[in-house]
Amino acid sequence: MITVLRLGHRHYRDQRLTTHVALTARALGAEKVILSGEKDDKILESVSDIASRWGGKFDIDYEKNYKKVIDNFKGKKVHLTMYGMPVQDKISEIRKEKDTDLLVIVGSEKVPGDIYHAVDYNISVANQPHSEVAALAIFLHEYFMGKELSKDFSGAKITLKPSERGKDFVSK
């Protein structure tokens, strides 16, 4: 099971990016998101609402103390950062420990220095500046070897039928 920890959320400024982090985590196979930084009930509610309508096992929570989350986590801890080791060189090593839970940590603009030492892996998706949403997406895609794209979201109230043109909803 994969949990994603989003560090340093700030009201207003990060609202949409943090929402994208959470929805990307859910859509690509993570089962839990923990938000840290400023508490933001609006995001917790809107993401929970989407998760309950679109199905699958997924929780989102807030925890002010990110250190507690990292210290108490039983499993391997991966921090996604442009400074880290290339995902393509490390992913098979990380993937090998199949029965181990994974905590995937993504920052916002500034990440406290202690994070780099509190984790098992600092992993980069291209050593270039871009986006924690993109880095998370590619990490999960590599970790699950593309199988996350066919994940079944059980209990969905709404699903989509892939369509060449337009929108094909299936409501239940």
Q: Smaller CB distance to its own copies: residue 101 or 138?
A: 138
**Distance between CA 94 and CA 10 in Å, rounded?**
30
**Distance between CA 131 and CA 22 in Å, rounded?**
14
Q: Smaller CB distance to its own copies: residue 1 or 83?
A: 83
| Least Cβ distance, residue 163 to its own copies (angstroms) | 5
CB atoms within 10 A of CB 41: 8
Q: Smaller CB distance to its own copies: residue 99 or 144?
A: 144
Q: Smaller CB distance to its own copies: residue 102 or 136?
A: 136
For the CA atoms of 33, 14, 50, 155, what is the dihedral angle to 10 degrees? -20
Q: Which residues bind its own copies (CB under 8 A)?
A: 13-14, 16-17, 20-21, 23-24, 26-28, 50, 54, 82-89, 113, 116-117, 122, 124-131, 133-138, 141, 146, 148-151, 153, 159-168
| Least Cβ distance, residue 130 to its own copies (angstroms) | 4
Q: Smaller CB distance to its own copies: residue 36 or 124?
A: 124
Tokens of residue 62, six digits = 């807030």
**Distance between CA 92 and CA 112 in Å, rounded?**
27
| Least Cβ distance, residue 127 to its own copies (angstroms) | 4
Which residue, chain included where needed, has tokens 């590619």?
138
In degrees and rounded to multiples of 5, residue 39 shows phi and psi of -70, 140
SS3 6: strand
**Pairing label, strands 158-160, 169-171:** antiparallel
